[in-house]
Each structure stands twice: as C-alpha cells, then as structure tokens.
Amino acid sequence: MRVAIALTFLLLLLCKCTYAQSCNPAVVSYIVRDEKGQILSRADLDSLAKQLPEAIGDAGILVNDVSFLADKQTYYWPEDAKFDTGTKSPALVFANAGNCIMHLGEVTLTYHGKKMRLIFNIDINRNQDDRRLVIDSLRFQEGTFQLDLTDWNHARDKLITATHWKGNVR
C-alpha cells in the first residue's frame, strides 16, 4: 500500500501542471450611423442585431457601449478603471472570448429598407496588442464597402475612422 501511495505521489510530482488559458477577448465594436450620419440608438442597434445570425464566423454578436475620452478618438477598454467616466456610444459588437482569436469576414446590415454589405476581413490573433478594435461607419447607404487598413497604425486604443471604408466594391 505504501508503494502505491509513493508511486502516486511521485507521478503527481513528475507530471506538468496545466492551467486554464486566459486571454483578453477578440472584439470589433462597430459604431453604426444612420443616413444623416447620426449614431444609431441602442434600441435601433438591438433591432439591427436581431436581424443577424447568432454568430458570424467565430464571432458572437451583441450590442454594447464604447467609452470615449473627450477627444472622441481615444477609447477606454472595458476593464479600465476610467471606463465609466467616458462618453458612451452604443455599438454593434462582434466578439470571441472563447479561443483568443477571431476572424471577422463580412456582414450585411439592413436599415430602413437599405442593405449595406460590409467587408471587414479582420483577423485578431492571440499575441496581438490591439485586440479590441473600434470602427466608425459611413452614413448608412445601399452598397458594398470594404475596410482598408493598409495605412492603419494599429494603435491599441484609437478609433478606426470611417475614412478607412472604400465604397461600392464588387
């Protein structure tokens, strides 16, 4: 009996300990604007989100707030102690907290009878520092638009402006 206990103890010492993986979620917050350029309300975004599937690729969909500093270009991450002090804007959020990575391909939104196809083609990997992107939208309009991040500086907490959208792509 002592030999069995000793062997069990020895095996436990020799085995590597495993720990649960922990990472910051991969998130894209998309600020949706109406035809006049005004940010959609949370109620409008909830309605928009209900039209979408539960997931797009490996991203779940929800509506949440983005918290901006006074410059309206810099944002707080939700875990930042100052998050509650910022100016809130509702956003359509695509997120994956499960496996630490996310690919967001394309999304088609319908608002006031118009369809706006958005091609994001964003990949967020495990080691990326800018894991919580906030992207501003064009005015809501019919057509296909592609996000072009070739000249983006990958700032960890800066808004990706609507100027990065290229219009009516086929």
| 15 is a domain residue | no
| 12 is a domain residue | no
| 6 is a domain residue | no
Name, in order, each residue with C-beta under 8 angstroms of 110's C-beta and a sequence gap of 6 or more: 48, 51, 116
Of 30-34, 95-99, 145-149, least confident by mean pLDDT is 95-99
Check pLDDT > 60 for residue 4. Answer: no
Q: Which helix (H) or strand (E) holds 6?
A: helix 2-14
Residue-range definition of the domain harbouring residue 149: 24-166
pLDDT in tens, 22-72: 678 899 999 999 999 999 999 999 999 999 999 998 999 999 999 999 999
pLDDT at 23: 73
| 11 is a domain residue | no
| 69 is a domain residue | yes
DSSP states of 60-87 as a string? EEEEEEEEE-TTSSBEE-TTSTTGGGSE
| 1 is a domain residue | no
Residue from 26, 97, 94 nearest 61 by CA: 94
The DSSP code for 53 is -
| 3 is a domain residue | no
| 125 is a domain residue | yes
CB 144 within 8 A of CB 168: yes
Based on the structure, what is the number of domains in the chain? 1
Q: How would residue 6 be classed by pLDDT, with cut points 50, 70 and 90?
A: very low
Site of tokens 């989100």: 49
How many angstroms separate the CA atoms of 82 and 69, rounded?
Answer: 9
